[in-house]
Structure 1
Amino acid sequence: MAADSMSLQDLPCLSLQGSMLSQSKRINKRKSRCGFTEGLDTECTPTELIQQWSPRHKHQRLISKGKENDCNQFVLARRSRRKRESTSAGISWDHLPDELLLKILFYLPLQDLLRVSIVCKRWHCLAFDESLWHSVDLEGLTHMGVALQQVLKTGVRRLRCPRSFLEELQFTGTGPLQIVQMDLSSSIIPTSALENIICHCKLLEYLSLEGLQLSDTIINSLARNPNLLQLNLSGCSGFSAPALADMFTSCSSIEQLNISWCEFNTNHVKSVVNNLSSSVTHLNLSGYRDSLTLDDVKLLVVRCPHIQTLDLSDSTLLMADSFPVLAQLKYLLHLSLSRCYHIHLAALTDLGKTFPMLCLLDIFGLVHDSHLPSLKKEMPRVCINSRPFSGIARPTPASRLIGSFSDRTMWNRRCRLRFKL
């Protein structure tokens, strides 16, 4: 039979093409087209068969529904851009509310929070939100002028930066600072910079300026903080007795006061004992060898009858006749008379009876170690020489271990944002 009179079923190229297209979707498209062209080289090819194996138009692929590989047909599906955007919008950071972002940023450490602040303008505003900067620890930060200036603008309430170095501070804020607790102990700070900070404080309750050079301007500014509860001015200098008297008159809520070892004369000591309020329960007035007299102690007992802890160490003018005066303090629990060398050892044996509430007694330098056992036997309820350092109004425990948890506390609480070296 001639080739042009053969039936369609007997055409070899056409039969092969049909079987290939009916198989899996993985058959190569180019090979299929080549086989299809070779098989359709005759004039008797039906129109239905051509339409059946012709490639579908694009609009047919776009309107196809259901599974893409259904019925062994490979269909190209393209998702519209509008649909893709609406799907991804649910996890976009831009669509999260500020409250949720602030909750996330709350768990970031200080360095990471600063990195986040440079992402965009919105994140910069959120990163410096007042709620995130409630408490900040900048201990160990050198040249902290710019950093401290920025922290003060955030509305910080608890600021800890002892043993830090501040060369200058250009704080331009006009409103009052929100600081309630602040520790600047043993830092290197110019008096002018310290004045710039303290003069904007009206809400101080806990303050430590131990070892700093002060001025009358600073003391007068402290007088505008009526809620002051604990004040540590140990080792400070540079202020007058009248300014000190005015401050204690205004700050009538002070409970703990450490004003030991300042550059005081007799007038300074009298300004303290003549103006302290009855709210004082813990007082460190040590270090005034030739300035603190028995008359000062008498006045102190009358003005502050609720004292529980009293440190009069290194007051060389005090003798045993001060014991009957101190015995009027009915709530006295802790008494420090270290290096008060005019107090004789024999007078110490009756302290257990003179002070029935006494629990702690520090007499370093008065009793030799060999005599301590016999003295402890006379006063079995009293713990002797257990506190070599005073903790009155100090933000960090005096007996802390370097690197321990308490080493970075401030009045028994840690700051959330902490600078790490």
Structure 2
Amino acid sequence: MPNKRYAFRPLQELQSLQGSSRTKRSKPRGGLGEGLDSECTPTSSCIQLWSPPHKQLKNTSKGKENEDGQFVLGRRSRRRKESSAGLSWDHLPDELLLRVLLHLRLQDLVRVSAVCMRWRRLAFDRCLWSSVDLEGLVHAGPALQQVLKIGVSRLRCPRCCVEELRLADAGPLPVTHMDLSSSIIPTPALEGVLRRCTLLQCVSLEGLQLSDSIMASLASNPGLLQLNLSGCSGFSAAPLGAMLRSCSSVTQLNVSWCHFTADHVKSVVDNVTPAVTRLNLSGYRESLSLDDVKVLVDRCPHIQTLDLSDCTLLTAESFPVLKQLPSLQHLSLSRCYHIHMAALTDVGRTFPSLALLDVFGLGQDAHLPGLKKQMPHIGVNSRPFSGVARPTPAGRLPGTPADRAMWGGRCRLRFRL
């Protein structure tokens, strides 16, 4: 039991008593319990008096909710850092950015693709590269490979040099219009491109070295409408005939001045589709005969434009045969030297629907005024170049700017030097 001397005494008295007890304290008697009873143990009230004061929370929140003195914990959303220039490009949707990129030129579109990954993805979107003109590009291999992988549908690449093309992993190509006229391109590379084309509608391979494999690839395009193979070589007669049978929708066909034998000419005449309306078979001096013309007229009665220039085996006897074409409007017999100028005077009556007649080289220029006078409704020698199945209109005057149209339309992206 605690000493009654210390019970219920104030703190000051306890402290003075403790000081006096230090001098008068005697050695404790008895055991351990007596020693503990003699210790001065503070009461709970003393502990409360000596406990350190509680720290008060400082009101660090500065706002209207604390103006009345009552503390309120308020949470505010973090403000976004606004751009000093206004609306950021990153906030624009892809559709709007594509509309902006649609107005850029080809070179600028390539520069924009280096800004960031998103702009690169948008800059090479297929909708921006639907039609591309690469004329004038010296080494067109890398650019041609890139646009083919993107998915170009209208491709104009005439008179270009292509060293190689790597399209081993490429799938089907959505190309519908392709102009590779007078380009330098390896035959295996061209085979790799055409092997993946099944949607072709208009194709110009003028002056290229082809192969039987290319003929088989062209045959897999049932929607082909215009085909220009002028000046081509390297393929056999049988694959040519098979291709013409498969492409039954062709309306314009140009196979002039190819490295043809009599078998090639016969393959064309026997297999060309009856739907053809414009046909160019010029340049076969010793290969195209009157019998071939008869087969052709019987097979293709809807021909409107027929070019048989430089076929020296033809004579005036071909006029009664050609008369069986009721829709014939343009006839070319230039340099068919076995046809005399006197036989041309009755052409106006023989072909009532004829509007254009080309007879370059058949007579002297002095005879042309009289011939034109006899046929005032027919334009004589007004078309020095044939435009059958060719992508770009022929017959431009010297000094006029080059026409970069392709089958009646221009490409949106154009390479410029």
TM-score, normalising length from structure 1?
A: 0.79
Deviations 1:82-124 (A, max 9, x none): 5462566961111111111111111100001001111111111
Alignment of 1:189-338 (within 5 A): 189-338=185-334
1:85 maps to 81
Moved over 4 A (4+): 80-84, 86-90, 401-406
Q: CA RMSD in A?
A: 2.1
Q: Secondary structure at the match of 2:119?
A: helix
Tell me if the contact between 2:149 and 2:170 (Cα under 8 Å) persists in the aligned partners: no
CA deviation profile, 1:333-357 (whole Å, cap 9, x unmatched): 0000000000111111010000000
| In 2, Cα distance between equivalents of 1:137 and 1:93 | 29
Are positions 1:386 and 2:390 aligned together? Answer: no
Report 1:11-410 matches (<5 A).
83=79, 85-86=81-82, 91-400=87-396, 407-410=403-406
SS at match of 1:99: helix
Q: Spell out, residue by residue over 1:168-209, the C-alpha distance to the aligned partner (whole angstroms, 9 max, x if none).
A: 111123421000000000000000111011111000000000
Q: How far apart, CA to CA, are the structure 2 residues paired with 1:248 and 1:234? A: 15
Which letter maps to 1:263? H
Return closer, same or farther for 1:89/1:140 CA change in 2, 3 Å cut-off.
closer
Preserved contact between residue 318 and residue 342 of structure 1 (Cα < 8 Å)? yes
Check the 8 A contact 1:220/1:243 in 2, yes or no.
Answer: yes
* 1:42 paired residue number: none
Deviates most, 158-167 or 136-145: 136-145
**Amino acid across the alignment from 2:103:** Y
Distance 1:282 1:405 in 2: 27
In 2, distance between residues paired with 1:143 and 1:114? 17
Q: 1:368, CA displacement in angstroms?
A: 1.0
Q: Distance in 2 between matches of 1:385 and 1:332?
A: 16
- Mapped to 2, the partners of 1:86 and 1:348 lie a distance apart of 83
Render the CA deviation track for 1:216-247: whole Å, top value 9, x for unaligned: 00011000000000000000000000000000
In the alignment, the residues of structure 1 paired with residue 63 and residue 381 of structure 2 have an alpha-carbon distance, to the nearest angstrom, of 92
Alignment partners' CA distance in 1, 2:391 and 2:312: 28
Greater CA radius of gyration, 1 or 2?
Answer: 2
- Residue 153 of structure 1 contacts residue 173 of structure 1 at CA under 8 Å; is this kept in 2? no
Q: CA deviation at 1:146?
A: 1.2
**How far apart in 2 are the matches of 1:411 and 1:402?**
21
Distance 1:197 1:317, change over 3 A: same
Contact 1:89 1:95 survives alignment (8 Å)? no
- Structure 1 distance, partners of 2:247, 2:290, is 25
**Conserved? CA contact 1:396–1:406, under 8 Å:** no
The alignment partner of 1:415 has SS state of: coil
Amino acid at match of 1:278: P
Unaligned runs of 5+ in 2: 1-59, 65-75
Find the aligned partners of 1:116 and 1:323 in 2 and give their Cα distance.
Answer: 62
How many Å apart are 1:145 and its aligned residue? 1.4
Contact 1:310–1:334, Cα closer than 8 Å, also in 2: yes
Higher helix share: 1
Q: Contact (CA 8 Å) 1:397, 1:406: kept in 2 or not?
A: no
- The corresponding residue for 1:30 is none
Q: Distance in 1 between matches of 2:223 and 2:115?
A: 40
1:358-403 superposed Cα distances (whole Å, 9 cap, x missing partner) = 0000000002111111111211111100001000000001123578
Q: How far apart, CA to CA, are the structure 1 residues paired with 2:84 and 2:337?
A: 80
SS of 2:273's partner is coil
Query: Which amino acid is the alignment partner of residue 256 of structure 2?
Result: S
Give the whole-Å Cα distance in 2 for the aligned partners of 1:380 and 1:404.
Answer: 29
Q: Percent identity between the aligned chains?
A: 68
| CA–CA separation in structure 2 for the residues paired with 1:126 and 1:135 | 16
In the aligned structure 1, how far is the partner of 2:241 from the partner of 2:235? 11
Contact map agreement 1:149 1:169 (CA 8 A) in 2: yes
CA distance in 2, matches of 1:91, 1:338: 67
Change (3 A) 1:329 1:262: same
